[in-house]
Amino acid sequence: MAERATPDLAISARWILPVEPAGATLEEHAVLVRGGRIEAIVPADRLPPMDPERIVSRPQHVLLPGLVNAHTHAAMSLLRATTPGPALDAWLRERVWPLEARLVSPDFVADGTELAIAEMLLGGITCFADMYFHPEVAARVARSSGVRAVIGVPIFEQATRWTSGLDDSLGRCLELHDRYRSDALVGTSFALHSSSLTTDATLAHVRTLADQLQCPVMIHLLEAASERPRVLRNHGRGPLERLEAAGLLNDLLVAVHCVHASAAEIERIAHGGASVVHCPASNLRLGNGIAPVSTMREAGVNVALGTDGAASNDSLDILAEARLAALLACGSTGNGHALSAHEALGMATLAGARSLGLADVTGSLLPGKWADIACMALHGPAIEPVTDVAEAVIHAAGRAAVSDVWIAGRCVVRDRRLVHIDTVDLMDRCRHQGARVVAALAANAGQ
């Protein structure tokens, strides 16, 4: 029998939550990594012979798959806590869009995206799906920071400060897709703002291209209660019907929010194989309500988790979203077992990967997948005693417990510090951008 090659890295920990198989908890095991991928998970006392310097020991810790933030607008981290508003439509039209008109530029996107990535990495997020202006800048920043990302290219029909119209938007999407088509970490997707802002012709066009490229199509769907009546009035059918008619209701579709999806719509989403991204904090903050996650899961929908942008959340914290999702599922159904800690963790990892077409790549600690791993320290007065590891991760520990993070086997956070991002320089740039934000807020208020 041929001897196995020596692993590049072994990470041993008190506990491992591999997510696959579902509900499993391993004690005193180690993840073996070779060539950036998970080679095996073995009992910690049966490591193969290897250089001790390549063994990382985390004796009070848990290893879990790197978390997946399946929906954000990363650069909006520069607009954190600036724009609480009474309701989604007014918030966009009166607060966000005027601010963006003053502020958004390639530099703004570069600094904001790097800020978001820094926050996400420190919180155990190894993969995110983005949707914002200047996606070519976001892709470049993601690539250089070593995070896994699916960069959504916004498809605008009108001219914006970024593109001259539909053809330009689509062309940029294809160009970006081409540039990253063999990249191990960065991929692309089509990002439609919402059904109410997109014509049938564009939906059909995007469908054709997405099918050819096998790229995800992201769209905000049924976020506010006002969406269905408005779309019905303007387009003659509801938002989901329009996607269905365009052939977009399939497993490439990433339907974000779905707060106001009816039981019948949920059945059709499930039947089409589309994913939903649940963004509970943003949905509450903007007064949109609570998405019917338990109904979706019972119908067989793949429900992932997203933070949304920092302007409607303030915190790109997927562990907080997972806890909130579990609490809301229990509180809104009257059933304290509606969403277990293991299930919430699955939403924060594997379901996110699946929504982005990356279930073979990341989202669980299965041999053959890339070694995207978060490590959390489960000790101290806020966490111990630990009697159930998944409960401790979701309900007690929080992202402050994240100690180390690896992406494709490369360490990006060590002892709660970013390895490859110069935090001092980044925060200097972000404070400078923050001053611009304050000036823009004042200028808008003065108009």
The binder of a second copy chosen from 271, 382, 422, 443 (CB under 8 A): 382
Closer to a second copy at the Cβ: 250 or 315?
315
Strand ranges, E, within 81-231: 125-131, 148-154, 186-194, 217-221
Closer to a second copy at the Cβ: 360 or 384?
384
Q: Which residue stretch of 10-18, 169-177, 294-302, 389-397 sits at the interface with a second copy (rule: CB under 8 A)?
A: 389-397
- Interacting positions 409-428 with a second copy (CB under 8 A): 423, 426-427
The structure tokens listed for 46 are: 């049966």
Closest approach, Cβ 409 to a second copy, in A, equals 23
- Interacting positions 283-302 with a second copy (CB under 8 A): 283-290
- Interacting positions 315-334 with a second copy (CB under 8 A): 315-317, 324, 326-328, 330-334
Q: Residues 41-80 vs a second copy: string with x where CB under 8 A?
A: -------------------------------------x-x
Closest CA to 189 of 140, 130, 249: 130
CA distance 229 to 132: 26
- The Cα angle at residue 239 between residues 359 and 175, in degrees rounded to 5: 55
Q: Which residue stretch of 171-179, 212-220, 350-358, 376-384 sits at the interface with a second copy (rule: CB under 8 A)?
A: 376-384
Whether 306 contacts 256, CB under 8 Å: yes
- Interacting positions 188-207 with a second copy (CB under 8 A): none
Q: Which residue stretch of 3-11, 179-187, 246-254, 390-398 sits at the interface with a second copy (rule: CB under 8 A)?
A: 390-398
Helix%, strand%, coil% for the chain, nearest 5:
45, 25, 35
Grouping H, G, I as helix, E, B as strand and the rest as coil, residue 157 is coil
73 Cβ contact partners less than 8 Å away, ≥ 6 residues apart: 130, 131, 132, 308, 309, 311
Closer to a second copy at the Cβ: 122 or 252?
122
Regarding 340 and contact with a second copy (CB under 8 A), the answer is yes
83 Cβ contact partners less than 8 Å away, ≥ 6 residues apart: 91, 95, 96, 99, 311, 312
Q: Which residue stretch of 125-133, 145-153, 306-314, 367-375 sits at the interface with a second copy (rule: CB under 8 A)?
A: 306-314
CA distance 110 to 100: 14
- Interacting positions 212-231 with a second copy (CB under 8 A): 225
CA distance 447 to 105: 22
Closer to a second copy at the Cβ: 50 or 225?
225
Sign (positive/negative) of CA torsion 393, 398, 402, 407? positive
Q: Residues 392-411 vs a second copy: string with x where CB under 8 A?
A: x--xx-xxx-----------
Whether 277 contacts 70, CB under 8 Å: yes
Closer to a second copy at the Cβ: 158 or 423?
423
**88 CB burial (10 A radius; 0-12, 13-18, 19+):** buried
The binder of a second copy chosen from 171, 300, 367, 380 (CB under 8 A): 380
- Interacting positions 231-290 with a second copy (CB under 8 A): 281, 283-290
- Interacting positions 76-135 with a second copy (CB under 8 A): 78, 80-82, 84-87, 91, 115, 118-119, 122-123
Q: Which residue stretch of 19-27, 65-73, 362-370, 384-392 sits at the interface with a second copy (rule: CB under 8 A)?
A: 384-392
DSSP string, 51-81: -GGGEEEEEEEEEEEPEEEEEE-GGGGGGTT
